[in-house]
């Protein structure tokens, strides 16, 4: 048996009949940028996230960068985020002209350690960017409490967390703004790049629309420096169709996670994602942790099972971001990076595939 890390081909076969007529309609109308397809998707996505507004942009990276710009987080301002995240979180902060200030990982949740946020605040801090890593919601109440007290904005990196909830409230609706990615492999993935910003602020949403359209409120008039960052109509119809399936897909991912837990929960030296009361993750990734991750790696490879590392190198140890901290600066993130591994996780996984992956992991650790 072969088990891919993610199976978008099988997903497409289930969507073909539904998607192709809608994509064809966009092409027949030659309405590729903006228009009703985009507005419909934005309205549906905002409703899904429980926000007043969703604004489509070109990628998750742009969503975070433009969220900072729309909220007038000025160049030079400091933005606090996690040392263990995908580089795009930190890239977006830099691209907005701001200075990322990293916080070490909480070894319990793998989120940024909320207890360390306050010590990272300086007079130049303007925002906190918590990352709902792996689709597991950050405990936002204490983050929002710090933000309120220190007069900081909260911009969620919700790129992995479409549909996840924190005390019943969806990720994307918890801060002042949130950035989502529709990269194909995300829980809600386009057939290309895409992203969105969600917010309850009419002013932020209006500014975002202009930012992504060359700062142009009307034809031949450019009010301020913008860029080209739009979600195109073909992607919007793909995403609108997939959004109708997303609740069921997320439910299925949770079932896969439960199945893994049943099969692997008793193994010594293996840490599975923890359940936390009040939080409903969507398992963008199913990340296990073990001191014997190399043995698991070798066994999965030999068994034809896809897997990944998210992420094997903390941001401050990447050559591009060396100025954010010397080696040893974020010990929990550095230790975690060496011990984590992401197992296959997708809604279309069969029981046989889950059994096979679990058996291979079990024998790697009991051999
Ligand atoms: C995917 C991702 C991004 C960036 O999204 P793109 O659409 O790839 O630009 C940002 N942050 C996190 C945590 C991500 O996983």
- 317 by DSSP, 3-state: which? helix
Three-class SS of residue 210?
A: helix
Q: Which of 173-191 are b and which e, b meaning 16 or more Cβ less than 10 Å from the residue's Cβ?
A: bbbbbbbbbbbeebbbbbb
Average pLDDT in the 99-126 region? 98
Cβ contact 165:247 at 8 Å:
no
**Given the CA of residue 193, which atom of ligand 1 is nearest to it?**
7
What is the per-residue pLDDT across 234-262, written as a single tens digit (0 to 9) for each? 999 999 999 999 999 999 999 999 999 99
Whether ligand 1 lies within 6 angstroms of the CB of 65 is answered as no
Report the pLDDT averaged over residues 56-77: 98
Answer yes or no: is pLDDT of 367 > 90: no
Reported as a single tens digit per residue, the pLDDT across 303-330 is 999 999 999 999 999 999 999 999 999 9
Quick one: average pLDDT of 49-75? Answer: 98
Give the strand pairing for 340-343 and 286-289.
antiparallel
Give the C-alpha separation, 263 to 91, whole Å. Answer: 38
Looking at the chain, the whole-number percentage of residues with pLDDT higher than 70 is 100
Per-residue tokens: 126 = 């303007």
Q: Is 160 in the pocket of ligand 1 (CB under 6 A)?
A: yes
60 Cβ inside 6 Å of ligand 1: yes
| Residue 99, token pair as written in the block | 């200075």
Helix (H) or strand (E) segment spanning residue 203:
helix 202-211
Cα–Cα distances in angstroms (integers) from residue 294 to residues 271, 300, 335, 339, 361, in the given order = 15, 10, 14, 9, 11
51-65: average pLDDT: 98
| pLDDT for res 250 | 98
Q: Has residue 164 got a pLDDT over 90?
A: yes
In this structure, how many other beta carbons lie within 10 angstroms of the beta carbon of residue 157? 31
Q: How far apart, in Å, are the Cα atoms of 361 and each of 51, 202, 221, 290, 298?
A: 41, 49, 60, 11, 10
Q: How far is Cα 330 from Cα 81, in angstroms, rounded to an integer? A: 12
Of 64, 89, 229, best ligand 1 pocket probe by most atoms within 8 Å of the beta carbon: 89
Say how many C-beta atoms besides its own lie within 10 A of residue 226's C-beta.
Answer: 19
Give pLDDT, residue 343.
98
Closest ligand 1 atom to 131 CA: 13
Q: What would the mean pLDDT of 128-157 be, rounded to a whole number?
A: 98
- What's the confidence (pLDDT) of residue 325? 96
| Ligand 1 in reach of 86 Cβ (< 6 A) | yes
245: Cβ contacts below 8 Å, ≥ 6 apart: 15
Average of per-residue pLDDT values in the chain:
97
pTM to 2 decimals?
0.98
pLDDT tens column, 86-98:
999 999 999 999 9
| Per-residue model confidence (pLDDT) at position 84 | 97
CA 20 – ligand 1 centroid, Å: 27
Q: Output 351 or 367, whichever has higher pLDDT.
A: 351
Bridging pattern class, strands 169-170 and 165-166:
antiparallel
Q: Is 55 in the pocket of ligand 1 (CB under 6 A)?
A: no
Helices (H) and strands (E) in the chain, counts: 11, 12
DSSP string, 17-85: HHHHHHHHHHHHHT--BSHHHHHHHHHHHHHHHT-SEEEEES-HHHHHHHHHHHTT--TT-EEEEESSS
Residue 6: count of CB within 10 angstroms of its CB: 20
In the reported structure, the alpha carbon of residue 58 is separated from the centroid of ligand 1 by a whole-number distance in angstroms of: 11
> Of ligand 1's atoms, which has the minimum distance to the CA of residue 92?
10
- CB 180, CB 195: distance < 8 Å: yes
Distance 123 CA to ligand 1 centre (A): 28
CA 156 – ligand 1 centroid, Å: 12
Q: What percent of the chain has pLDDT over 90?
A: 99
61 lines ligand 1 (CB under 6 A): yes
Q: Among 86, 182, 187, which residue has the most ligand 1 atoms within 8 Å of its CB, making it the best to mutate?
A: 86
Q: What is the DSSP-derived secondary structure letter of residue 296? A: H
| Ligand 1 within 6 A of CB of 81 | no
């Amino acid at each position: 048996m072969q088990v891919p890390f993610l199976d978008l081909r099988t997903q497409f076969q289930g969507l073909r009949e539904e998607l192709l007529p809608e994509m064809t309609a966009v092409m027949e109308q030659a309405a590729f940028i903006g228009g009703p397809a985009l507005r419909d998707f934005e309205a549906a996505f905002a409703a899904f996230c429980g926000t007043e507004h969703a604004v489509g942009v070109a990628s998750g990276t742009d969503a975070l960068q433009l969220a900072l710009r729309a909220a007038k987080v000025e160049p030079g301002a400091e933005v606090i985020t996690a040392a263990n995240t995908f580089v795009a979180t930190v890239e977006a902060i830099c691209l907005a002209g701001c200075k990322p200030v990293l916080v070490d990982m909480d070894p319990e949740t793998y989120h940024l350690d909320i207890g360390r946020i306050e010590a990272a605040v300086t007079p130049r801090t303007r925002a906190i960017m918590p990352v709902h890593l792996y689709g597991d919601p950050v405990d936002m109440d204490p983050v929002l409490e710090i933000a309120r007290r220190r007069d900081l904005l909260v911009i969620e990196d919700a790129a992995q967390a479409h549909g996840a909830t924190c005390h019943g409230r969806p990720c994307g609706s918890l801060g002042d703004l949130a950035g989502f990615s529709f990269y194909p492999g995300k829980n809600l993935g386009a057939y290309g790049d895409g992203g969105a910003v969600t917010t309850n602020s009419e002013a932020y949403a209006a500014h975002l629309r202009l930012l992504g359209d060359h700062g142009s409120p009307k034809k031949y008039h450019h009010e301020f420096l913008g860029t080209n960052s739009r979600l195109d109509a073909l992607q919007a119809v793909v995403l609108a169709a997939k959004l109708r399936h997303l609740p069921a897909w997320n439910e299925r991912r949770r079932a896969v996670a439960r199945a893994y837990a049943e099969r692997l929960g008793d193994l010594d030296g293996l840490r599975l994602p923890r359940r936390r009361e009040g939080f409903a993750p969507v398992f963008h990734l199913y990340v296990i942790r073990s001191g014997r991750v190399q043995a698991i790696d070798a066994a999965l490879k030999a068994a034809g099972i896809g897997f990944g590392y998210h992420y094997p190198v903390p941001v401050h140890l990447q050559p591009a971001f060396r100025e954010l901290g010397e080696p040893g600066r974020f010990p929990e993130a550095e230790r975690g990076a060496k011990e984590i591994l992401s197992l296959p996780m997708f809604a279309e996984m069969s029981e046989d595939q889950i059994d096979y992956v679990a058996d291979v992991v079990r024998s790697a650790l009991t051999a």
